[in-house]
Structure formats: structure tokens, C-alpha cells
Amino acid sequence: MSTPLQTPRQAPEQAPRQESARVSSGLLDPRLLLTSLPLAVRKLDPRVMWRNPVMFIVEVGAVWATFLAVREHTVFAIAIMVWLWLTVVFANLAEAVAEGRGKAQADTLRKAKKDTTARRLVNGREERVPAAELRQGDVVVVEAGQVIPGDGDVVEGIASVDESAITGESAPVIRESGGDRSAVTGGTKVLSDRIVVKITQKPGESFIDKMISLVEGASRQKTPNEIALNILLAALTIIFMIATATMQPFAIWGKMSNPGVPDTGALDGNGVTGIVLVSLLVCLIPTTIGALLSAIGIAGMDRLVQRNVLAMSGRAVEAAGDVNTLLLDKTGTITLGDRQASEFIPVGGVSEEELASSAQLASLADETPEGRSVVVYAKQAYGLRERGPGELSHAQWVPFAAQTRMSGVDVDGWRLRKGAASAVADWVREHGGLVSPALGDVVDGISASGGTPLVVGEVKDGRARVLGVIHLKDVVKAGMRERFDHMRAMGIKTIMVTGDNPLTAKAIAEEAGVDDFLAEAKPEDKLAFIKAEQDGGRLVAMTGDGTNDAPALAQADVGVAMNTGTSAAKEAGNMVDLDSDPTKLIEIVEIGKQLLITRGALTTFSIANDVAKYFAIIPALFVGLYPGLDALNIMRLSSPQSAILSAVIFNALIIIALIPLALRGVRYRPGSASQLLNRNLAVYGLGGVIAPFVGIKLIDLLIQFIPGISS
């Protein structure tokens, strides 16, 4: 193949660069605000607004304020009307901006979902049909340069595929039949060779269709947590409506008791004016979190999209934030996947340098990852120059073969072999050599530690002997122990799942720092383990890519399927990692926790805001009727009208100010629930009380001289 091939393991290394490029444009790009504004206005439709009870009440209040402003035709009433409408628009703008951030990716996906002609196989003959007419079970042929017409599994052939339309990565990946890398996505392009694909999608339900719908927020359903919070906000709104209604009798009674108190723009002979009652209600109900709640949920899914993870539902994102147990595959997730040479152990008086040189030479014809690692380790650890077969043109190279389980070279009467311990030991004996008992002790020690021993032997000058042992080990990825410590601090238990024997699994688990391991794991073992954890009241997350992982992925609360995996795995999971990086499960958990913390932090801030607004509005409004309230008039606002209008303006502007935080999310720091609560109360609770005092006072200073406001 002329096209450079990329293994799935390479893709994640490029993902961070891609992510930073995506978000570098800023959270509140003026162009994004401009394009989102028409959508925010369209969302004023009551049929849309009623889904958000808090903001629906604000819109009803704005409509009533408009009627009153037209009737009274005062500067104060008109200003209140304008800012109430701006409050509703700003709330819609928060959601529109959150949705707009996904539209750019959706546009890219639509380019991949263009009209494509499929070469469908029917009774061994090809027929060209539009891709839209393909059905489940159809078989199509795709060759180099052609676009794959639909989602499916490769049933014949192997090819490199350009998936940049889906993942954003320019390097191609391998797709082949008969393994866990057989799934292909409609809209991606075959770069080399020829494959036969069996279509697995239903019409209109392709992977790209789902992605477009999800990243635009079109199919985002409210999560249980979000629904519960909406109910709470609706209940608070009803309570504040009752509280606002009770102010009128107090005002009327106060006016009757103090007939000498002059009328103002806020109080008249009939008590509190209608425009002020509407303003009071809007300022006292939890409008801040009501305006930002939907945007927080959309932004949480968007953050996953930025990391090339497709969440099939908002419920899965929330569940990730509450996960108690993580199941991670050992190979490719915790370890690099290929065993690497880590030590040369000589026997029989041979020096380490002599063993290293012989091991490197015997591995030159071994193209397996283990063989290449021996060559690299000898070069790095002992400074040996890597020799190529071209330098020994007269040598006879012995490539590694599964039958012999050895590789090596014959040159100038010198014969070298490297391979499995029993195979090399038998080879030495066949040539008249003796195998020292010390070899067995070294081999057994490496095996007991979870490693793999490879033995090096030679026949030189008619003498056969064993030179030593190469220690191969599963190399744990750098930084994994720190990441698992991070998980532990978050209260999450990490479980390593492997098919290795318990001895090997234990050694890797201890080195990686996971809490526990599941050795010799079969599909039914994974499923049983997940059920047992869930029966104990814990939420479980796991990754997988094969058909045998599908039952466990479906059972897990958060099942992350690899994009390189089979269609069965992707259908079973509720998330798909487009980069096929199993360690991304850790990032997904952090994003889920960040979503929940952001929602809690802004709810705390919103409710604290309401407390501060009481001190701003109630004393300024009623101090003339009830002089005792002057003790609560901390802000010393210039007039009742100015106090009301300042609170309404602040109520609207704080929504715009908090949109970046809702989109970016509150930074998550590992800690106990009590620590998180104390931090929320200190930062967002106290901040939510202080911010309105400062903001409303500043606005009052700016507007107090406007005619019709200061009276």
C-alpha cells in the first residue's frame, strides 16, 4: 500500500491538539452571538417557552408589563418592559449559543453525508443505487477513492480509511474483516484496496445522522436530574408568586395606616403598582438558573464532542458524573498493548553487553512488536548501534515463526536463536549443549512477576550454550498511577479487566495502581461483575470494542464503545469514542462530574441572588410605610423606582455574565461531597449574595439621574 497506515492507538495522541484548536475561538465569539440572536428571538414562541416554567413566567410577565407600559406610558414602566423582554431573550440566547457551538461540527458532518452512489451486490452482480436506498443486510463493494455509502461491518478485505470527516484526524486507520476493527461509518472514504461491507444501519438512522442531531441539541432529552431540578424551580416559582401576591395587602394596609405617605411610581393609593409587582416576581424567582439550565446540559454534551466522544443521551453524561466503579481493559488501556523488553539477564558467566549484542542480532529478523522492542532496548540501554540485515548480506536470517517460536541468524559459522524458553532450550540440547538449572530459576522468576521470558542461545565453534534471558513485560502507560490516584480521590473504584492469569494480572495491577482486577475474564464474567456492582447500589462505567463486550456495555450505566470496534459494540454502548482511546473513560467521568457541579454551583448562585435582591427591593419599596425597614436598607438606593429598575437590569445582565461559565463548566477538583458543598457555598453561595449588592448599587448610581426614574 502506498498510503501510510495508522493504527487506532495513534489517534488519541493527536486529539488534544484538535481539541485546543476547536475551542480557541472563545466561548463568546461575537460572530457566534450574532448568529445565535435570531434563534433566541424565535425561541420566544410560547410553545417553546412553556417547557421552561421559570422563563415562561418571565415571558408572561413581560407581556403584562408591555400592556401596562402602553397604558401608563411612563419612562419607568417602559424601561421595566424593555429589560423584562431582554431577560427572556438573554435566557434564550444562553441556550442558542450552546446549541450554536455544535452547529459547526454538524456542518462538517453534513459535508460527509452527501449524496453517494452505492455498488450493491445482488446474487454476485453489482448494481448502482443511491446510498439512501440501502437497507439493513445489503452488501456493497467499496474501492480506493470511493465513499463508504452507509454504516456497516467489513465482511471481506482490508483497507485504510480516511475518517477525518468524523474524528477530525487526518491520518487514516485500518478496517478489516473478522476482527474488532471491522466497523465502518457512512461518509468516510476508502484510501486503498477493496472491501466488502454489510450494511447495519436503518434508513435515516446512520451514525452521522445521529451525530448531527445530537450535536445540534435537536434530540437532547432532559435528564432525570434536570427534570427534578426543573420541578424544584417550578415549586420555588409558585412559592415566590404567593409571596409577591401577599405584598399587596401589606401595601394597602400600610397606605391606610399612613395616609400622609406620598404616592410614588412604585406605590399609589391602590398599593403596589402592577408594573412593580411584575418586576418583584421576576427578580425574586430563580431566573438565573432557569435561564442557564438547558445551556449547561447542552454544553456538557458539547464538551464531550470536543473530545471526540458521542453521547447517545444526556442521561449517560449525568451517569458518568455519578460513577462509582470503572472497568478498564488492561491491554491498550492501562498498558501499551505490546510487551516490551525491559531487562537482559545473562547466565553461565556471559556479560550483559555480550547478551545484549547477541539478542539484538537475533531479533533483527523478528518483525513482531516484541522483537522490535529487543532491538530498541539494546540500543537505548547499552548504546548498541542498530544493525540492519543489509550489513550482513551473506547471513542467513531466520524470521520468527509460530511453529518454531524462534528467530535468529546464521553467519560465518555462528548460529544465534532467540525465542520461547522451552524452544531455545531444546534447540541448544539438539546441538549437544547443556542447559544450566539456573536458567529455569530465572525463567520461573520472570513468569511469577507477570512477565514473559525469552531465551537467547548460540552455537559457536561447535559449542552450544544458553547466553541468557530477555525479560519482556507489559509496560504500564506513563502517568497511569497518578490518574488512578486521581480517580481514587474522586471516590471511584478502578477495576482492571484482563484475560491474563491471576499472577500476571496481580503484578500489572500493583504496578498500575488500580484498586482491584478481574483476571481470566470472559464476557459472562464481566456481565456478572457489573450486575453485582449495580446490585450494591453503585453506578458502573466500562469500555469495549468487540462483539463479546456488547452485553457488558449494554448493562453498564456508562458504556463507552470504541469507534474502531464492531457495530454490535457501538449499538450496545451509550457513548462512542471516535478516537478509540480507552483511557478517555477517565475524561468522560470528569466531564460528567463537571456537568453536575456546574449545575449545582449556578443553582446555589441563583438562589443566593434572590436573597440579596430582597435587601435591595423590599426596604426601598416599603420604608416609607414601615420605617423600621430602614435598618435593612443596606444599599441606600436613591429611590424605589431606581431600586426596582436596578434589580431588573442586574437580573438580566447576570445571565449574560454567566453564559461563559455555563458553557465552560465549573472546574472540578477531586474531593469529598462535604468539601465540594463547602466550596460551592463559599464561592457561589457567598458570591451570589455579594454580587447583587455590588451590581445593583452600581446600576443605581448610573440610572438615578434619568428623568422619571429618580422620582
- Asked if residue 14 belongs to a known ligand binding site, the reply is no
**279-312 as b/e: b if 16+ CB within 10 A:** bbbbbbbbbbbbbbbbbbbbbbbbbbbbbbbbbb
Kindly name the residue from 180, 209, 329, 581 that is annotated as catalytic.
329
- Asked if residue 17 belongs to a known ligand binding site, the reply is no
Sign of CA dihedral 540, 544, 547, 549: negative
Angle at 509 between CA 380 and CA 420, to 5 degrees: 55
162 is catalytic: no
- Asked if residue 418 belongs to a known ligand binding site, the reply is yes
Distance of CA 659 to the CA centre of its chain: 20
Q: Is residue 334 within 8 Å of residue 328, measured between CB atoms?
A: yes
Give the separation between CA 579 and CA 8, rounded to whole angstroms. 7
- Asked if residue 593 belongs to a known ligand binding site, the reply is no
Distance of CA 586 to the CA centre of its chain: 9
Using the structure block, give the residue that is written with the C-alpha cell 550482513. 392
- Asked if residue 405 belongs to a known ligand binding site, the reply is yes
Q: Is 447 helix (H, G, I), strand (E, B) or coil?
A: helix
- Asked if residue 407 belongs to a known ligand binding site, the reply is yes
- Asked if residue 517 belongs to a known ligand binding site, the reply is no
- Asked if residue 45 belongs to a known ligand binding site, the reply is no
Angle at 132 between CA 128 and CA 138, to 5 degrees: 65
- Asked if residue 404 belongs to a known ligand binding site, the reply is yes
- Asked if residue 515 belongs to a known ligand binding site, the reply is no
Q: What is the 3-state secondary structure (H, E, C) of 342-389?
A: EEEEECCCCCHHHHHHHHHHHHCCCCCHHHHHHHHHHHHHHCCCCCCH
Q: Is residue 593 within 8 Å of residue 304, measured between CB atoms?
A: no
- Asked if residue 67 belongs to a known ligand binding site, the reply is no
Q: Is 73 helix (H, G, I), strand (E, B) or coil?
A: coil
Give the separation between CA 421 and CA 427, rounded to whole angstroms. 10
Distance of CA 464 to the CA centre of its chain: 57
Query: DSSP letter string over 87-117?
Result: HHHHHHHHHHHHHHHHHHHHHHHHHHS---E
Binding residues for Mg(2+): 545, 549
Q: What are the binding residues?
A: 366, 370, 400-407, 418, 545, 549
- Catalytic positions, written as ranges: 329
Please give the annotated binding residues for ATP, written as ranges.
366, 370, 400-407, 418
